[in-house]
């Protein structure tokens, strides 16, 4: 059953080929057998079984939607009522959320079964899922390599078929990069398309939730549930949500594809480049037009991001002070000691590094020199995309400069780690939608193809990606150990 997609499982449930309870138990058993991956922080077995039984009753009476009874898993960044929500940090290891994030609430209303909460880089800060308080997640294709981050637990779980689908969040590539490393489909929607209410904030102007699945069709199904305006989120955009599955089968003959020449410059692994080129050839066969474009400001994305994101994180994480909730040091001498030791003991090295960078960039005398200048360059990057989309329908290229690297390989060099997001960060700075789809292998490790769209053009991105999956089978490949 685990080899079936969400769409296939939904069809099977309605045809009574199996029950949601049987399906849920099957996934729970697989989770127990795959503990080596460390994908889950919390497995909500009793809750999942209870939800599955309720889903079976709904389906028996002819009610329910496409996600009713489908076992999914949630990144541990979404507040989940009466379940630990840790954000991969010691700081929140004892935090039981009193409410549901909007995304969680929507999946509950859709009748989806929650298998548990997935491991992640601490407070979503990392590109390898090695900064988690609960230890590193492993890539099911090669357990000696990283799954990517920060949504590494989500990518690992879906790749090993421990869940039919999962949620992730993307601040600088944290859905697309792990999706590429683990050979699955990962969609980052337009900023504001999915509510951020109840999603623990890292960088408020960049964070966006999205689905991580086997196929593009499954991503469309999950996005249909996740998307929509939310009065509880001031960054949520009040626009109607289209039927994402309706346009998946549109003919893409004549589709204008832009290929950014700067993405194929120094830094891109030759095998990854060749794999992406082969994927572009498939689009030529489908009748698409390929055009080289130049976006000269994209090279500034990483320095801009690593001023803006830490600045916002330093503000957002100031609430974790040991006073109201979360970790508190033992026997503080006074309030100052409470703050210093609670934060010092409760936060990890990468989180502290980014808080320090962000606090410095926002400090008197440096605010104009760093933060304001970074925001101005961010505008230039957005303008580059605006000019590009005046000429092309979508933009394609690599997701990552290499395949998954070894565990511990880059932990001692933060700059090298940051560079693994060099092709994804600009999309977040501009707030655009983008997807990573499996495009082949380099040295037996998955390679992803990135497809970027204009604002709220998720349907077009999904259509282009789905048409590619109809003529390839990379998304159907499973790691041998977890087949």
Distance, CA of 66 to CA of 47 (rounded, Å): 20
Residue 332 near residue 108, CB atoms below 8 Å: no
For residue 296, what are its two tokens? 């000269």
Give the angle subtended at the CA of 325 by the CAs of 324 and 328, to the nearest 5°: 95
- 91 DSSP 8-state letter: G
Instruction: Classify residue 62 as left (phi > 0), alpha (psi -120 to 50) or beta.
Output: left
Judging by DSSP bridges, how do beta strands 445-452 and 394-398 pair with one another? antiparallel
Residue 403 near residue 447, CB atoms below 8 Å: yes
Distance, CA of 166 to CA of 161 (rounded, Å): 10
Q: What is the DSSP string of 214-242?
A: SSHHHHHHHHHHHBS--TT-TT----PPP
Residue 379, CB-side half-sphere exposure with 13 Å CA sphere? 5
Residue 295 near residue 267, CB atoms below 8 Å: no
CA 378 vs CA 9, 31, 84, 260: distances in Å: 42, 41, 36, 18
Strand ranges across the sheet with 256-260: 40-43, 113-118, 71-75, 165-170, 208-213, 185-188, 434-442, 445-452, 394-398, 256-260, 289-293
Residues 6+ apart with CB under 8 A from 376: none
Residue 173 near residue 421, CB atoms below 8 Å: yes
Q: What is the DSSP string of 373-442?
A: HHHHHHHHHHHHHHHHTTT-SEEEEESSSSSPPBTTSSTT-HHHHHGGGTTTHHHHHHT--EEEEEEEEE
Taking alpha carbons only, the member of 348, 45, 79, 344 closest to residue 200 is 79
Catalytic sites, residue numbers: 75, 150, 174
Distance, CA of 78 to CA of 93 (rounded, Å): 14
Taking alpha carbons only, the member of 146, 450, 129, 193 closest to residue 298 is 450
Give the angle subtended at the CA of 260 by the CAs of 179 and 184, to the nearest 5°: 10
């Amino acid at each position: 059953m685990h080899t079936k997609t969400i769409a296939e499982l939904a069809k099977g449930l309605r045809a009574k080929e199996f029950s949601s309870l049987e399906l849920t138990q099957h996934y729970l058993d697989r989770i127990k057998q795959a503990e080596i991956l460390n994908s889950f922080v919390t497995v909500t077995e009793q809750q999942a079984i209870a939800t599955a039984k309720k889903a079976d009753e709904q389906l028996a009476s002819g009610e329910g939607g496409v996600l009713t009874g489908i076992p999914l898993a949630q990144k541990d960044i979404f507040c989940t009522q009466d379940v630990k929500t840790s954000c991969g940090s010691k700081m929140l290891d004892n935090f039981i959320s009193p409410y549901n994030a909007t995304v969680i609430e929507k999946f509950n209303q859709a009748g989806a079964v929650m298998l548990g909460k997935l491991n992640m880089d601490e407070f979503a800060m990392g590109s390898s899922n090695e900064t988690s308080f609960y230890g590193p997640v492993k890539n099911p294709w090669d357990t000696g390599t990283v799954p990517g981050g920060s949504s590494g637990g989500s990518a690992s779980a879906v790749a090993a078929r421990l869940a039919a689908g999962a949620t992730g969040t993307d601040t600088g590539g944290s859905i697309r990069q792990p999706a590429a490393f683990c050979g699955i489909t990962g969609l980052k929607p337009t900023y504001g398309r999915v509510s951020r209410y109840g999603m623990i904030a890292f960088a408020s102007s960049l964070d966006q939730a999205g689905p991580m699945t086997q196929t593009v069709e499954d991503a469309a199904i999950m996005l249909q549930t996740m998307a929509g305006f939310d009065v509880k989120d001031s960054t949520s955009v009040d626009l109607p949500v289209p039927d994402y599955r309706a346009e998946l089968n549109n003919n893409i003959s004549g589709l204008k594809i832009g290929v950014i020449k700067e993405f194929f410059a120094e830094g891109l692994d030759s095998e990854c480049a060749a794999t992406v080129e082969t994927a572009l050839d498939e689009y030529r066969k489908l009748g698409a037009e390929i055009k080289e474009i130049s976006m000269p400001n994209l090279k500034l994305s990483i320095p801009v991001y690593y001023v803006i994101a830490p600045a916002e994180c330093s503000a957002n994480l100031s609430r974790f002070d040991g006073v109201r909730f979360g970790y508190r040091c033992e026997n503080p001498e006074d309030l100052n000691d409470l703050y210093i030791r609670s934060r010092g003991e409760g936060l990890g090295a990468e989180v502290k590094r980014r808080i320090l960078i962000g606090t410095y960039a926002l400090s008197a005398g440096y605010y104009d020199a760093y933060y304001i200048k970074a925001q101005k360059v961010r505008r230039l990057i957005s303008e580059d995309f605006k000019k590009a989309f005046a000429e092309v329908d979508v933009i394609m290229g690599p997701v990552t400069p290499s395949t998954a690297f070894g565990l511990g390989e880059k932990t001692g060099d933060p700059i090298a780690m940051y560079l693994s997001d060099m092709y994804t960060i600009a999309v977040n700075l501009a707030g655009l939608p983008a997807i990573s789809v499996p495009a082949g292998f380099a040295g037996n490790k998955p390679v992803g193809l990135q497809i970027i769209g204009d604002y709220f053009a998720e349907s077009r991105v999904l259509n282009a990606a789905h048409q590619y999956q109809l003529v390839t089978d990379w998304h159907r490949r499973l790691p041998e150990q977890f087949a």
